[in-house]
Structure 1
Amino acid sequence: MRGLAAWMVFTAHAAHLLTPDPAFLKFLWTGVDLFFVISGFVFAPLLLSGGFAIRPYAIRRVFRLYPLYLVSLPLYYLIAPESPDKLLYLLRHLVFLGTTSGAHEAFFFNPAYWSLPVEVEYYLLLPLLALIVAGRLRVVPALFGIFCVVRFGIVLGATPFASPDPNRLSILRVHLPGILIEFLVGVFVYVAHQRWRDSGQRLWPMLAGAGGLALWLSLGLFFARHGDPGIGAHLWLKSYFSLLCAIGYGLMLFGLLGLLGGLDGRARQSAFFLGNLSYGVYLFHILVLRLYERSDLALPGALAFIACGLAVLVLALLGYHLIEHPARTFGRRLASHREPTQAPILSRERGWGEGELKRHG
């Protein structure tokens, strides 16, 4: 699913190569919302653990996110246009503060970078959220409701993020206060899957998946017809369009988990292959598209799309094998030496096991 999300974002940004009127293909930018749902799902065991060792967790997160990002950022710096603020933007991006002043800085190097600060904020907040939830599942819907209200208030008072001087609410809209609810959708999916996976019933997952697909298609068709102006014309839609996309993805994810069960053989290998390369695809695809646009190549639309996709794939493969995988392995090894001798506090409601926490953390 991570691999699918990454290639959806690539397709949204490369849609102009395929057709002068991409319409529905542009809607695939919502693959970012799928990323948020997946992160919520993956870290749900930690959120529900009641507390966990922060040092090894932080080490794993740093070595997961930073190395490949630090390789990609100088590459974007080299091809970025000249600006008196260019160096300042670079320094702020190094510490994931590139989305704190407006769209010009956020999209200056790589538009896809905008979602990384939100992920980092979620990682930073997760230990506190785990203490707040303290293994009590009923607290999660309460948090969801609170931040739904927060999201509405933010959107109600926010100026356009792309304006020359966006207000603070506009900045908060693209940070965790405005997006936490999408991560919590992934937590709900995780809890639902834990309760249904051993039941042997497939009807409800099938219905959930079908409902999620119908919701996603409806939102996609609306976006294809009305675009961003259509979303902005309705306050409720403007506030919760991305959340509705996240819910659609969450329902589809729940359905797929129920239907597919455990993959094996080539299907499992393909899933791991796509997932392992997802971060590289996400980081490098804008680089490839910009270099293609600056080149003298004039390939037919579909061929240009395929050529750029292959170039992204090669960069993602190199990045994974040369940088990402070795760094993650080193980070895990380093974190294992910081693991506590005593097991973390576990949820009293679900009894999350230590092994399960480690696999997801």
Structure 2
Amino acid sequence: MNTLETIHESALLSAAMFVAFFGFLLIFSGVIQKIDIFRQSTTVSSDRYGSLDGLRGILAFGVVTHHALTAYIYFTTGAWDWSRNPVLNHLGQTTVAIFFMITGFLFTEKCTARSLNWRSLYISRIARLAPLYSIVVVIVFAAVLALSDFTLRVPPAELLKQFVQWLAFVCLGRPDINGMAMSWTLIAGVNWSLKFEWAFYLFGVPLLFAVSRVLSRGSMFVGSLGLLAAAIVLVGIRGELDGTPLYMLHFLCGITSAFIYENKLGRAVISSRMFHLVAASSAILLGFVPNSHNALALVVALLIFLASIGGLSIFGILKRPSAVWLGDISYGVYLIHGLILYGTLYALKQHGLLSYFGSPLFIGILPTIGAVVTILASLSYVYIEKPMIALGRSLAKRKTVGAQP
């Protein structure tokens, strides 16, 4: 068994590898902060939402770590699958679960306000998510055509249909491109989660808005808390939950967290040192449950998220500009890393060097991949994402929908 396979099988080693990897990235991000354009573009850390900005960076590079080992196994065995290592599974599953919680949390505040500018909300979402994603999709299709020796293996109309499906955040399906099996592996399949993000924007947000016009915030707090508790108990009795119901539950965790955060007593609890200690300690439990489909993993993820918005910063690390920057560029990291992993592994395999990736040399290759992803995501954030966000704001009109006082 080579070094990478050993790490792949060991929960302790994979956890240690991720800590070391993220530590390197914090240092590298600190170096990037020396460049004016990146330093000036970094979100100014504040107490609002605790350490949420820094948490995003951990989540994004947790996904990178999971996919690095998964992609290696794929290129050596042809199978893209979950491992027997719970830590690796949670780096790919619980991280996305918390991303969903973040969405539920942030948009609960927006859509339960006294008024909501619907035009601004949806234009801002499109401007935030579509530009970089569209570029990535174009690159994926170009790469597939190159891997196909620029030969059409499906009718042009079918290829166009596939392009539209991918461009629509795979809400209309995610077909193999040009007959290439598992072509989604070029981006490590990450676009599946965007479909559920958009489902929340299109259905969850209007539903929350409508409910907030009927019920008081106090009633919504009690109702969401009761619904969440009942759902967790149900999952505990059932044993596990998967697919759409599980992801809906993650959004519900974020919604409930928003009401806890705005409640004076709730804020005091999640901001306490004792709660932070319990939440941080509970993360250890993830090493003993195989995946995120069970009640225990759900509760641990919720505790970690609540502690983060309550100010848990891991001795101030998540408040540092280097950590905040990794959070700022997390969307780019999430979308881009699969392309870099696939390109690296494909090149190594083509030149008969893939075995070296499974040797101690991996310790040097992974940080290099992380650095390249960080640079590309930083550039995309400054030159693509931020300008398009600004454009979206300028296009949005301030026509609001009034709410009941």
Does the Cα contact within 8 Å between 1:212 and 1:248 map onto a contact in 2?
yes
Does the Cα contact within 8 Å between 1:106 and 1:114 map onto a contact in 2?
no
Q: TM-score, normalised by structure 2?
A: 0.64
Q: What are the residue-to-residue correspondences of 1:328-347 with 2, within 5 Å?
A: 328-335=389-396, 338-340=397-399, 344-345=402-403
Does the Cα contact within 8 Å between 1:77 and 1:109 map onto a contact in 2?
no
Per the alignment, in what secondary structure is the counterpart of residue 43 of structure 1? helix
Pick from 313, 326, 329 the counterpart of residue 277 of structure 1: 329
* Structure 2 partner of 1:314: 375
Pick from 193, 197, 206 the counterpart of residue 127 of structure 1: 206
* Structure 2 partner of 1:249: 301
Confirm or deny that 1:182 pairs with 2:250: yes
Percent of pairs identical after alignment?
25
CA shift at 1:275, angstroms?
Answer: 1.9
- Write the distance in 1 (CA, Å) between the matches of 2:259 and 2:299: 14
- Write the distance in 2 (CA, Å) between the matches of 1:130 and 1:113: 27
Q: Residues 36 and 74 from structure 1, CA distance in 2 versus in 1: closer, same or farther, beyond 3 angstroms?
A: same
CA RMSD of aligned residues (A): 4.0
- Write the distance in 2 (CA, Å) between the matches of 1:266 and 1:247: 22
- Write the distance in 2 (CA, Å) between the matches of 1:65 and 1:255: 27
Pick from 124, 129, 138 the counterpart of residue 65 of structure 1: 129
Q: Residues 17 and 92 from structure 1, CA distance in 2 versus in 1: closer, same or farther, beyond 3 angstroms?
A: closer
Q: What are the residue-to-residue correspondences of 1:60-139 with 2, within 5 Å?
A: 60-80=124-144, 82=148, 84=154, 87-97=160-170, 100=173, 107=184, 109-110=186-187, 111-125=189-203, 126-134=205-213, 136-137=216-217, 138-139=219-220
- Write the distance in 1 (CA, Å) between the matches of 2:323 and 2:264: 22
1:258-292 superposed Cα distances (whole Å, 9 cap, x missing partner): 3459x999935334312210000000011000000
- Write the distance in 1 (CA, Å) between the matches of 2:272 and 2:243: 31
Q: Residues 79 and 304 from structure 1, CA distance in 2 versus in 1: closer, same or farther, beyond 3 angstroms?
A: same
- Write the distance in 1 (CA, Å) between the matches of 2:274 and 2:395: 44
Q: What one-letter code is carried by the residue in structure 1 that aligns with 2:275?
A: A
* Structure 2 partner of 1:358: none
- Write the distance in 1 (CA, Å) between the matches of 2:296 and 2:334: 22
Does the Cα contact within 8 Å between 1:208 and 1:252 map onto a contact in 2?
no
Per the alignment, in what secondary structure is the counterpart of residue 112 of structure 1? coil
1:222-252 superposed Cα distances (whole Å, 9 cap, x missing partner): 22xxxx6xx8xxxxxx5xx2x6544423322
Does the Cα contact within 8 Å between 2:56 and 2:327 map onto a contact in 1?
yes
Q: What one-letter code is carried by the residue in structure 2 that aligns with 1:112?
A: V
Q: What one-letter code is carried by the residue in structure 2 that aligns with 1:188?
A: T
- Write the distance in 2 (CA, Å) between the matches of 1:266 and 1:218: 22
Q: What are the residue-to-residue correspondences of 1:1-361 with 2, within 5 Å?
A: 1-15=55-69, 23=85, 24-29=87-92, 30-49=94-113, 52-80=116-144, 82=148, 84=154, 87-97=160-170, 100=173, 107=184, 109-110=186-187, 111-125=189-203, 126-134=205-213, 136-137=216-217, 138-139=219-220, 142=223, 174-175=243-244, 178-196=246-264, 201=268, 205-223=272-290, 238=293, 241=294, 244-259=296-311, 267-296=319-348, 298=356, 300-335=361-396, 338-340=397-399, 344-345=402-403
1:18-41 superposed Cα distances (whole Å, 9 cap, x missing partner): 999882233201211110011111
Unaligned runs of 5+ in 1: 157-169, 232-237, 349-361
CA shift at 1:197, angstroms?
Answer: 8.0
CA shift at 1:100, angstroms?
Answer: 4.0
Q: What one-letter code is carried by the residue in structure 2 that aligns with 1:291?
A: G
- Write the distance in 1 (CA, Å) between the matches of 2:175 and 2:282: 31
Q: What one-letter code is carried by the residue in structure 1 that aligns with 2:285?
A: S
Q: Residues 315 and 12 from structure 1, CA distance in 2 versus in 1: closer, same or farther, beyond 3 angstroms?
A: same
* Structure 1 partner of 2:3: none
Q: Residues 95 and 202 from structure 1, CA distance in 2 versus in 1: closer, same or farther, beyond 3 angstroms?
A: closer
* Structure 2 partner of 1:165: none
Aligned positions, number: 310
Q: TM-score, normalised by structure 1?
A: 0.71
